[in-house]
Each structure stands twice: as structure tokens, then as C-alpha cells.
Amino acid sequence: MENPTPVMDPKRHSSWDTDILIIGSGAAGLRAALAASERADVTLITKTTLTESNTHYAQGGIAVAMNLDDTIALHIKDTCAAGVGLCDVHAVEMMVSEGIPRVAELLDWGANFDWEGALPRFTQEAAHSRRRIVHKGDATGRETTDVLIQRVLNTERIKVLQSAFAIDLLTANDAAGREETLACYGASAVVDEALVYIQARATILATGGLGRIYPCTSNPKVATGDGFAAAWRAGCEMVDMEFVQFHPTTLYLDGAPNFLISEAVRGEGGELINIRGERFMWKYHEKGELAPRDVVSRSIQSEMELTGFPCVYLDITHKPAEFIRERFPTISDTTKRYGLDISVDLIPVRPGAHFMMGGIRTNTDTETNLKGLYACGEVACTGVHGANRLASNSLLECLVFGARAGTNAAIFAESESPDYPPDIPVVDNALTSVETDLTFVEAVKAATREVLWEHVSIERNGEGLRQTLAKLQDLTVSLESLQAASVERTVETTDAVGQMPSVSPVLLQTTDVELIEAVNMLNVALMITQSALVRTESRGAHYRADFPTQNDTDWSRRVLLTQDKTPEVIAL
Ligand code: SIN
């Protein structure tokens, strides 16, 4: 069968080709680009600017077993203990051992981390049995991305496109004709307000997190869960989506934006006190302020309820002012802008959404269930974090699995025939210009955040989760009228051997970024709520008030979601 002729308005639609399409510019996407470019041409697209990522704002550091008293085995043990029985041990071993050369290479490339004599200055963070966090003051993420970005920009085979918001993955049945295998051939994106199809031999999703679906978060504005939602709509398997980590200490100050107060502040001796001036963490855990994050977050929540006060305080004032200034320059400067001097003032804090442990199910080669689609970093779930991530393991994960994704995607691209990917002719129904009601879209986003905070945050229960599902379904229906002009469109795809084209619906074909974000937020909220409802126990970051204990007999398992199927419970 002949390919249908694309009918496109070139002003609105264009179609580009690349070997490897990478979506996202945090540590995972950047590291993947560097690895892939050793074998292939790479196009890296990012939603706003190269520096807007969770990585860039990461304060704490990178956990790595390089200290003299540390071992790979100890790091694995701490990671698995934090993950409360749900970690994939093989993936953890890989992350921890390959993490050492990945960090060493970053140092070689010029990362200017803090040093003490001949070794990096390792700091302590919660639930680590050793001081093993390499860092650059409290701006480790910025240092890491600066080094990686510089290298990416200096690499000829990498083309970078900023303000390029990926909407949906381009999918079709496998070109080799294996009926049931769905394959990914790139993505649609909004670039300069136009809809663009970027066709790729292999695609890597490295879009980061979703903290912004909650009202209180450490994440930057871009973190609206776009990659999770696009993957889900495309047919990816999603796992562990009930496990959202709430960081215990985000700044709670009138007029101040969402801002993280690093765990390293507690690692360096910071104490948590309630409004009555009582130091409370010892009441809840033998490790006090250095208990696992989920425990500290729940303890703070409990103190806020007990005292009827909307925050607690972090006190680092017993440390010398000079030390504080040198060790935490970003926190010192930011809080100062809002009238706080943390060397003399208490820091008002409360928990905020920080990190998604779950995501697109991948193996340790970063392959997803879609042929040609790879995922790495926060959007992916290899199982390294289990039910709760150990502090500063996320940048390590990005470096290790980013590099693996880049290499594997490039090898895959090389192995396919020269005329791969098949043409993906686009049947364009011409964009109907929908005058999006922005106030309405913003109201949907706000309502999504509100209901998640109320029922699907630090503490959950069956009734609240069911109410949330109903509310999210209502909100989804209410957005449908805005999407209506877009959703009916289809992309027809045909395979290379001339079989009948399979038709995969492009779910979103609007160029309205706010509207796409709202849909993505609702999709992600739905996945988290559905998974949280299925897991009838408490473990790690998932706490069910109606099932408050851990149930290893029934729940040493994972919840798997695929769009349009009921959630499945699968073996580890
Ligand atoms: C922090 O600095 O507290 C965040 C580090 C992390 O999330 O691993």
C-alpha cells in the first residue's frame, strides 16, 4: 500500500528526522545525549530552557560509595533498606557500582565539587550509614548541569532545541510486523507555538518529575509530569506510581516561592522543633532528624496536627555563621531575600512533593515495553528506589541510567535497516484554533492540586482516594470540551514492509501548552490515585491510614498500570 500523502500546512506542521530523539535536559537527558552522540546524531528537546530541570535545582548532592570507610555493599544495603523491600536489587547493584565511574568522569569533566585534602568532602544525609554525598555547597545540581550542558553544547552531533514541549509519542505497530508489539518512532511537540513531528530511530524519555501536580513542592514550574502522561497515553507500562516522596522540609513563608531546604541541613546538625519549641523527632524514630524521609515527613505532619500550626521549624543556629554561609550559600541567599538570616533565625518548613519513585517500567537497559522507546531518570522506574528513595540517589540514577539509555538507544538505532523508521504520514485535519479559556484551565489545575493534597499526599485512605478518583474523572470530562477540536485527529502510520497501516490516535494535537499540562496533570493524578487505592497496606512513602501496617505477605509486589486496563498486581 502506498503511503498516504501528508496534507500539511507547513506553517503549522513540519516533520523532522533524527537518529535519536531525547526529551528532557536534566542530568539523565544530558548524560544520555553524550552517550548516544558517540554513535549517532542526537536531537535533544527541552520544554523551556536547558537549565529548567529538577536536576538543576538539586541541592544535596550525589550519593556515591567513594569514601575511605565506605563500600558498594553498604550503599546497596542502605538503598534497599530505604526502599522497604521493593527495590530491584540487580538495578541497585548496577546503579551503585556504575555510579563510581560516572561520578569520577564528572569530576574529570570539571565538576568543581567541594574537596577536603585528596578526597571530595562527603556529607551526611538521612538513612545513609556513611558520609557519602559529594556536593558543591548546596548547589550540586547546578554544578552538575553546568558541566553536562557545556559538554553537550560542544558536541557536534547533538542538536539542542529549547522551548520544545513534547506532547505525545508517535507510535505504531512494530514495522517488522510483530502484531502485538507497539513501537515508538519519535514524538509530537510544540515548537515556537507550532505543532511539529520529530521522527526518530530511537526515542529517550528523560522528562523528570511531577511535583507541580501538588500545591506544595520542591520542584520547578516545568515539573508537571508530562513524560509520565505521554508514555501512559502511548501504551507504556507504569509501575510503583503510588510512591510519591514528600521532602520533609520545604520553605513555608508568606510570599516566598516553593523552595527546598536541603536534607543536608539536618545532615550537618539541623534540628526540627515544633511551634512550642519542642524538639520532636526522637519521639518518632531512633535516628531523630536523620530518620528516612517518609518518617520525618509524617512526623512533621503529625506535629502540625497536634499543635494546630501550619509548619514546624528547622534550627541550624547553633552552627557558626561562617560555616552556614559557606556550606549553604543558596539557602542562605534565598531565605535572606525573604527576611530570614538562617544563622540566627529559625526556618519555617513543611513537607512538599519532591520525587516520584515510580514511573515508566524499564529494565536495566532502560528499555520500555515500546520498541525503540527508552526511559531514564525520574520518569523511569527500574526499581532502584522501591517504596522510598534514599537521599541523593536520584542524580546518581540519572548519570548511570542516562548513560545506559544513550548507548542502548544508539545501538538499537544502528541495528535497524537504513530506511527505518517507516514514514509516518500525517493526516492533518488542519488545526482548529480553539480559544482556550485560560482561567478555566488554571482552575482545573488548581482543583487537581487541591484534591491530591487533601487525599493523595502524605496520608491516604480508601474513602478519600475514591472521592479523588471521582473528582479527577469530573475534571477530565470538564476539559474535554476544550480538547474536543483536537482529539479526533489521527496520525496514520504504515510499516516498512507495506502492510496495512495501523492507526494510532494522537491524543492531543493542540499547541496550547497550558491545556496540555492540565491534561497531563490529570492523567498523572489518576495514575497515582488508582495505584494508591490498590495498595492496601502502608510502606515507604505510601501511608494508608486505613491500612497502617506493612503487609509483606500480600504486598511484596508492585502495582502495574496500563491505560485502559485495570491495575494489575505483579511479582517483584
Ligand atoms: C536535598 O537536598 O534534601 C534533596 C536531595 C535529594 O532529594 O536526594
Higher pLDDT, 513 or 92: 92
Distance CA 522, CA 451 (A): 11
pLDDT class for 412, splitting at 50, 70, 90? very high
Same domain, 46 and 171: yes
- Extended strands (E) in 335-465: 347-356, 359-361, 373-375, 380-381
Same domain, 263 and 191: no
Asked if residue 394 has its Cβ within 6 Å of ligand 1, the reply is yes
- So what's the pLDDT on residue 429? 41
Q: Is 567 contained in some domain?
A: no
- So what's the pLDDT on residue 14? 65
What confidence tens digit (pLDDT) does each residue in 534-549 have?
999 999 999 999 999 9
Same domain, 384 and 278: no
Place of cell 496536627: 305
Q: CATH number of the domain at 392, please.
A: 3.50.50.60
Same domain, 33 and 131: yes
Q: List the beta bridge partners of residue 15.
A: 197
Distance 9 CA to ligand 1 centre (A): 46
Same domain, 22 and 154: yes
From 352, 374, 394, the end of a domain falls on: 352
Q: Is 565 contained in some domain?
A: no
Distance CA 264, CA 123 (A): 7
Q: Is 421 contained in some domain?
A: no
Same domain, 60 and 82: yes
Distance CA 66, CA 333 (A): 30
Q: Is the pLDDT of residue 504 over 50?
A: no
- So what's the pLDDT on residue 499? 35
Q: Is the pLDDT of residue 2 over 60?
A: no
256, with CB counted inside 10 A (0-12, 13-18, 19+), is: middle
Under a CB-based contact definition with an 8 Å cutoff, are residues 285 and 245 in contact?
Answer: no
Q: Is 564 contained in some domain?
A: no
- So what's the pLDDT on residue 416? 83
- So what's the pLDDT on residue 490? 41
Distance CA 553, CA 155 (A): 51
Q: Is the pLDDT of residue 434 over 90?
A: no
Say what percent of the chain tops pLDDT 70.
89
- So what's the pLDDT on residue 478? 87
Same domain, 289 and 345: yes
- So what's the pLDDT on residue 38? 98
Under a CB-based contact definition with an 8 Å cutoff, are residues 54 and 220 in contact?
Answer: yes
Atom of ligand 1 nearest to the CA of 395: 8
Same domain, 394 and 296: no
| N-to-C CA span, the chain | 44
Q: How many of the other CB atoms lie within 10 Å of CB of 116?
A: 8
Same domain, 513 and 453: yes
Under a CB-based contact definition with an 8 Å cutoff, are residues 179 and 173 in contact?
Answer: yes
Under a CB-based contact definition with an 8 Å cutoff, are residues 153 and 34 in contact?
Answer: no
61 grid coordinates: 548532592
Place of cell 530541570: 53
361 grid coordinates: 517500567
- Residue of 264, 299, 266 lying closest to 281 (CA atoms): 299
Asked if residue 229 has its Cβ within 6 Å of ligand 1, the reply is no
From 300, 325, 352, the end of a domain falls on: 352
Lowest mean pLDDT among 5-14, 35-44, 302-311, 408-417: 5-14
Q: Is 149 contained in some domain?
A: yes
Asked if residue 392 has its Cβ within 6 Å of ligand 1, the reply is yes
Asked if residue 264 has its Cβ within 6 Å of ligand 1, the reply is yes
- So what's the pLDDT on residue 13? 53
Q: What is the DSSP string of 279-309?
A: B-HHHH-TTGGGS-HHHHHHHHHHHHHHHT-
343 grid coordinates: 544563622
Distance 82 CA to ligand 1 centre (A): 14
When pLDDT is averaged across residues 488-501 and rounded to a whole number, the result is 37
Atom of ligand 1 nearest to the CA of 390: 8
Can you say whether residue 427 is alpha, beta or left, with left for phi > 0 and alpha for psi between -120 and 50 degrees?
A: beta
Q: Pick the residue whose CA is nearest to atom 8 on ligand 1.
A: 392
Q: List the beta bridge partners of residue 196.
A: 14, 189
Same domain, 38 and 110: yes
Chain length of the chain: 572
Same domain, 401 and 507: no
From 300, 322, 352, the end of a domain falls on: 352
Distance 247 CA to ligand 1 centre (A): 8
Lowest mean pLDDT among 22-26, 67-71, 183-187, 385-389: 183-187
Distance 392 CA to ligand 1 centre (A): 5
Q: Is 61 contained in some domain?
A: yes
Atom of ligand 1 nearest to the CA of 261: 3
Under a CB-based contact definition with an 8 Å cutoff, are residues 349 and 314 in contact?
Answer: yes
Pocket test for ligand 1, best of 54, 55, 125 (most atoms within 8 A of CB): 125
Say whether 466 is catalytic. no
Q: Is 558 contained in some domain?
A: no
User: Mean of the per-residue pLDDT values for the chain?
Assistant: 90
When pLDDT is averaged across residues 168-173 and rounded to a whole number, the result is 87
pLDDT class for 433, splitting at 50, 70, 90? very low
Parallel/antiparallel/unpaired status of strands 13-23 and 194-205: parallel
Q: How many of the other CB atoms lie within 10 Å of CB of 376?
A: 34
Q: Is 105 contained in some domain?
A: yes
Number of domains in the chain: 3
Q: Pick the residue whose CA is nearest to atom 4 on ligand 1.
A: 60
Distance 47 CA to ligand 1 centre (A): 23
When pLDDT is averaged across residues 317-332 and rounded to a whole number, the result is 96
Distance CA 44, CA 228 (A): 18
Distance CA 455, CA 457 (A): 6
Q: CATH number of the domain at 300, please.
A: 3.90.700.10
Q: Which of 293, 350, 361, 460 is catalytic?
A: 293
Q: Is the pLDDT of residue 336 over 90?
A: yes
Higher pLDDT, 430 or 479: 479
Asked if residue 391 has its Cβ within 6 Å of ligand 1, the reply is yes
Can you say whether residue 331 is alpha, beta or left, with left for phi > 0 and alpha for psi between -120 and 50 degrees?
A: alpha
Under a CB-based contact definition with an 8 Å cutoff, are residues 405 and 383 in contact?
Answer: no
416 grid coordinates: 535497524
Distance 420 CA to ligand 1 centre (A): 41
Distance CA 42, CA 79 (A): 33
- So what's the pLDDT on residue 417? 78
- Tally: H helices and E strands in the chain: 16, 22
Same domain, 114 and 138: yes
Interacting residues of 345 by C-beta distance below 8 A, sequence separation 6+: 317, 335
Distance CA 466, CA 464 (A): 5
- Full domain range(s) for residue 527: 438-494+503-547
Radius of gyration of the chain (CA): 23
Q: CATH number of the domain at 478, please.
A: 1.20.58.100
Distance CA 387, CA 365 (A): 21
Lowest mean pLDDT among 161-170, 415-424, 473-482: 415-424
What confidence tens digit (pLDDT) does each residue in 12-43 have?
456 788 999 999 999 999 999 999 999 999 99
Q: How many of the other CB atoms lie within 10 Å of CB of 280?
A: 20
Q: Is the pLDDT of residue 177 over 90?
A: no
Q: Is the pLDDT of residue 343 over 80?
A: yes
Q: What is the DSSP string of 337-356?
A: HTT--TTTSPEEEEEEEEEE
